[in-house]
Structure 1
Amino acid sequence: MPDYSYLMQGIKKVETDSSLLVSSSKYLNDARVRDWVSTHLLRRNGSDVPTPSDSIQLVQILREVQDIDYINELIANERKANPELDAWFAEGFSSSFTLKDLSEYAPDTVGGIFHTQLSNNSLDVNIVPPFEPQNDFEYFNLRAGQTHDLEHILGGGGFDFIGELVPYYMRLTNLFVHLSPELAGELSAFSILGSTRIITRAVLHYPQTWLITQNAMERGARVGRESAPLYMMKFEDVFDMTPDAAREQLGIRCVEIVDTSAASAQWN
């Protein structure tokens, strides 16, 4: 057998009195996170477990694993150093438009494109039911849910499984550009796990789509790196504009449109 002892140097056995699995990672310590990661990063797509259910399970788990008080403390510190962010939280804007409201916009506008996507696929305006946020972290997540589909439209991500990587990586990159690493990391726990399930499934089960999958990651990261803070954008103000005009107005840059629907269809 080959001798790999050189590469195994430095490993230390840690003694513990714990009768349970324990590590320095709160994510590794949680059995639900371990099960979610092992299941959804390794499984194939299947109609018995629709892919949107992956995400909501992860959201519910992370709400119990993450230290919400600590995240709100990080946000409070960031607000002190960032007047624009502070004003955004203070305003607390929340969407209230309906599908009927969107029907009034021309087909080539952001609002019209969003209406077509929702109505053609029998989708609700709200990914999750509206709620009254009780703290800054909850408000951040409320707005992230309200703007997710609009980030698809303006960021160039198709409404399909591979296309999800574009808004994922827009956020993953953009948060680290505009916020402290500590806060960006806490706000990105969902995105890094949720997006990685797409990446591993592509390589393990759908390798013929890997280059298209990788391109979606790269396109999203490029938009995130070059754009103004995505999380503070009020997309509702540009419903009457074409996507190009809306991008210029909001500061969304370096968008490349690629159709990933045919590749995603191979995952079904």
Structure 2
Amino acid sequence: MNAETKLAPDEAAYLMGGAEPATSSVLISNSKYLNSPLFRDVYAQMGLKRDGHDLPDAYLIPTLSRAMGEVTDPARIDALLAAERERLPEFAAWLDERFISDFTVEQVAHCAEGTLGARIRAFIADSGYAIDFLFKEAPRTDYEFLIKRRAQNHDIEHMVTGLCPSQVGEIALIAANTMANTNYFSVDFAHELNLYGTVLMATSLSRSGLHYPKTLPALLEGISRGYALGARQEKPLFMIRWEDHLNRPLAEIRAEFGFEDGPEPGYWDWVFQEFKG
């Protein structure tokens, strides 16, 4: 260890409080996340790895999804959702409607330039990506519907907030959703909804600080912008029916929903390459 960072024995003892952990033939803790081999492995990979050019940024997301499945309790989530349905009539009505959509270029072909619909049209035509890219089966439960709508709205949220799909913009949007969820739902249900994003924020901050120091101030700025944007929301972003706003100018939408914290287009474009290699 570098002599400048090594602690003297008495300094280490002070910080450790003279305590000794329990000994065991296997790892034991009171954290279900630490106790899950898959979760701690993918968390360590995502927090410590470099982002190479050989694999897409989302390469470990399927593994993280499996790990999250090991540490979440579906019955508890269903009970928390049922309590929120009872407590929040607006949320209950949104769940009952079960509105979903599947955008095509033809559906937004009529939208004038500068509108949300035109931006969606350009996204589909230029990128080749689909708006409805995850959880394509019809939702069977309230929670499946909620997750499906979160996925359907994701790319549209980038468009309307101005928080771009760069490594910084993605984390900024997670911060915005985290705050909007926290403001609307109970602590316990918001916690369940925010778990996935919490891991992505934490591991992105770790990679930035460890390997890409030039990006760290930008990432902190993105979190700050996302926090401010999300804190102003009256309900979660995934509950907003953007299909009703297709013919509205993006500037008008941003003004109505308080999305002014999103930066100008291209503001974080430099991060795409700086956060690589």
Q: 8 Å contact 2:172–2:227 — kept in the other structure?
A: yes
What amino acid is the match of 1:183? Answer: F
Q: Distance in 2 between matches of 1:118 and 1:10?
A: 60
Larger mean CA deviation between 184-193 and 107-116 belongs to 107-116
**1:11 pairs with one of 10, 14, 19:** 19
Q: Distance in 1 between matches of 2:20 and 2:169?
A: 42
Q: How does 1:4-83 map to 2 (within 5 A)?
A: 4=11, 5-9=13-17, 11-14=19-22, 20-83=26-89
What amino acid is the match of 1:161? Answer: Q
Q: Distance in 2 between matches of 1:186 and 1:10?
A: 35
**2:141 pairs with one of 135, 145, 152:** 135
**1:100 pairs with one of 92, 100, 106:** 106
Q: 8 Å contact 1:68–1:137 — kept in the other structure?
A: no
Q: Superposition RMSD on alpha carbons, in Å?
A: 1.9
Query: Which residue pairs with 1:221 in the alignment?
Result: 227
TM-score, scaled relative to structure 1:
0.91
Q: Distance in 1 between matches of 2:258 and 2:63?
A: 30
Query: Which residue pairs with 2:270 in the alignment?
Result: 262
The CA deviation at 1:101 is 1.5
TM-score, scaled relative to structure 2:
0.89
SS in structure 1 at match of 2:58: helix
User: Of the two, which has the highest radius of gyration?
Assistant: 2
The CA deviation at 1:46 is 1.3
Q: Which runs of 5+ in 2 are unaligned?
A: 1-7
Q: 8 Å contact 2:175–2:230 — kept in the other structure?
A: yes
SS in structure 2 at match of 1:261: coil
Q: Distance in 1 between matches of 2:111 and 2:171?
A: 28
The CA deviation at 1:147 is 0.3
Cα distance 1:247–1:228, how it changes in 2: closer, same or farther (>3 A)? farther
Question: Are residues 1:153 and 2:151 paired?
Answer: no
Query: Which residue pairs with 2:245 in the alignment?
Result: 238
What amino acid is the match of 1:53? Answer: Y
Q: 8 Å contact 2:115–2:249 — kept in the other structure?
A: yes
What amino acid is the match of 1:263? Answer: V
Larger mean CA deviation between 45-54 and 3-12 belongs to 3-12
The CA deviation at 1:254 is 4.1
Query: Which residue pairs with 1:175 in the alignment?
Result: 181
The CA deviation at 1:88 is 0.8
Q: Which runs of 5+ in 1 are unaligned?
A: none
The CA deviation at 1:129 is 4.7
Describe the superposition over 1:230-256 as per-residue Cα deviations: whole angstroms up to 9, x where unpaired.
Answer: 12110111111111222345x344433
Q: 8 Å contact 1:154–1:252 — kept in the other structure?
A: no
Describe the superposition over 1:140-184 as per-residue Cα deviations: whole angstroms up to 9, x where unpaired.
Answer: 111110001111111221122221112111111111111111111
What amino acid is the match of 1:261? Answer: D
Residue correspondences, number: 265
Q: Distance in 1 between matches of 2:137 and 2:108?
A: 21
Q: Distance in 1 between matches of 2:19 and 2:144?
A: 40
